[in-house]
């Protein structure tokens, strides 16, 4: 079976700024991978390059069997890859339910429907007809995850989903990510909170200066946590 996501020696730019340097990264079906690294190393740029928001000028991106010489957000969704963006980007003048429906727009048919999302996140059903941005930060993150699931992806890219959230909410989200992965959806979790990474991911890729500089298995133990933290220490 081909990888869900395969970046091979990718070079990416914003204008003339060269951000990703021969970056290679693979996610297999059902895998839970963490992408870690300090602020500014290029983690979001990896996501942006897959969506075509940063320009791909070297190397290859493949989603399943399909090569994307000119990536676009709808091409990613059609090929089973969706993004929960950094900062969540809930649409302010749409209700919770309308935000969810938006997620299905470029997506695929599959098991995830509005009732299924409400089963996973009962709070979203309670707030179905309120504006998405009236939710708390943690609830908005659930909405962003629900919206991504509505596209019935085989891989979800989560860009710092717990940034700015209280520890109890981070724990809840960790359980939700595991529940989603247990149903067969692969995860690429971009995260600065290594105690969440050890609870969710089975493999990590560590970035520095626009490249993947280390990778390995994640071990859910104090030693495993220390190994990961070494990659994000200033």
Ligand X SMILES: Nc1ncnc2c1ncn2[C@@H]1O[C@H](COP(=O)(O)OP(=O)(O)OP(=O)(O)O)[C@@H](O)[C@H]1O
Residue numbers at the binding site for ligand X (CB under 6 A): 14, 17, 19, 37, 39-45, 86, 160
Integer CA distances (angstroms), 26 to 46, 187, 189, 199, 223, in order: 12, 11, 13, 20, 25
47 vs 56 by CB, closer to Mg ion: 47
Shorter beta-carbon distance to ligand X: residue 124 or 158: 158
- The tokens for 36 are 């870690």
CB-based closest residue to Mg ion: 44
6 near Mg ion, judged by CB under 5 A: no
* Closest distance to ligand X from the beta carbon of 163 (Å): 8
In the complex with ligand X, the residue whose CB is nearer, 1 or 234, is 234
Which backbone phi and psi does 24 adopt, to 5 degrees? -120, 140
Bridge partners of residue 216, in order along the sequence:
204
Shortest spacing between CB 161 and Mg ion, in angstroms: 11
Nearer CB in complex with ligand X: 42/146: 42
Cα–Cα distance measured from residue 117 to residue 100, given in angstroms and rounded to the nearest whole number: 9
Minimum CB–partner distance for residue 94 and ligand X (Å): 25
Q: How far is CA 159 from CA 85, 86, 88, 192, in A?
A: 5, 5, 9, 10
Selected from 32, 41, 44, 148, the binder of Mg ion by CB under 5 A is: 44
Shortest CB 140 distance to ligand X, Å = 18
* Alpha-carbon radius of gyration of the chain: 17
Q: In sequence order, which ranges of 52-191 are alpha helices (DSSP H)? A: 73-78, 96-104, 114-120, 122-126, 137-149, 167-182
Smallest distance, Mg ion to C-beta of residue 121, A: 24
Beta strands in the chain (DSSP E): 5-14, 17-27, 32-36, 55-63, 66-67, 81-84, 155-159, 186-190, 203-208, 211-217
Cβ proximity to ligand X, 17 vs 233, nearer residue: 17
By a kind-dependent CB cut-off of 5 to 8 A, residue 16 interacts, out of Mg ion, ligand X, none, with none
When CB distances are held under 5 to 8 angstroms depending on the partner's kind, the choice from Mg ion, ligand X, none that residue 145 binds is none
> What residues make contact with Mg ion under the rule CB under 5 A?
43-44, 86
């Amino acid at each position: 079976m081909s990888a869900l996501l395969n970046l091979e020696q990718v070079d990416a730019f914003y204008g003339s700024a060269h951000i990703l340097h021969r970056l290679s990264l693979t996610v297999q079906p059902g895998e839970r991978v963490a992408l870690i690294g300090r602020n500014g190393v290029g983690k979001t740029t990896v996501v942006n390059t897959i969506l075509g928001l940063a320009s791909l000028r070297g190397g290859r991106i493949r989603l399943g069997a399909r090569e994307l010489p000119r990536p676009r957000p709808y091409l990613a969704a059609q090929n089973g890859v969706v993004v929960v963006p950094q900062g969540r980007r809930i649409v302010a003048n749409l209700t919770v339910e309308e935000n969810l429906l938006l997620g299905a727009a470029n997506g695929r048919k599959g098991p995830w429907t509005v009732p299924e999302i409400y089963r996973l996140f009962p709070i979203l059903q309670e707030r179905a007809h309120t504006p998405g941005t009236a939710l708390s930060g943690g609830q908005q993150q659930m909405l962003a995850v629900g919206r991504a699931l509505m596209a019935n992806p085989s891989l979800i890219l989560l860009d710092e989903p717990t940034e700015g959230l209280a520890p109890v909410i981070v724990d809840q989200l960790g359980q939700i990510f595991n529940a989603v992965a247990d149903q067969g959806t692969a995860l690429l979790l971009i995260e600065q909170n290594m105690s969440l990474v050890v609870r969710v991911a089975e493999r990590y890729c560590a970035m520095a200066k626009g490249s993947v500089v280390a990778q390995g298995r994640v071990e859910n133990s104090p030693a495993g946590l220390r190994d990961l933290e070494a990659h994000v220490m200033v």
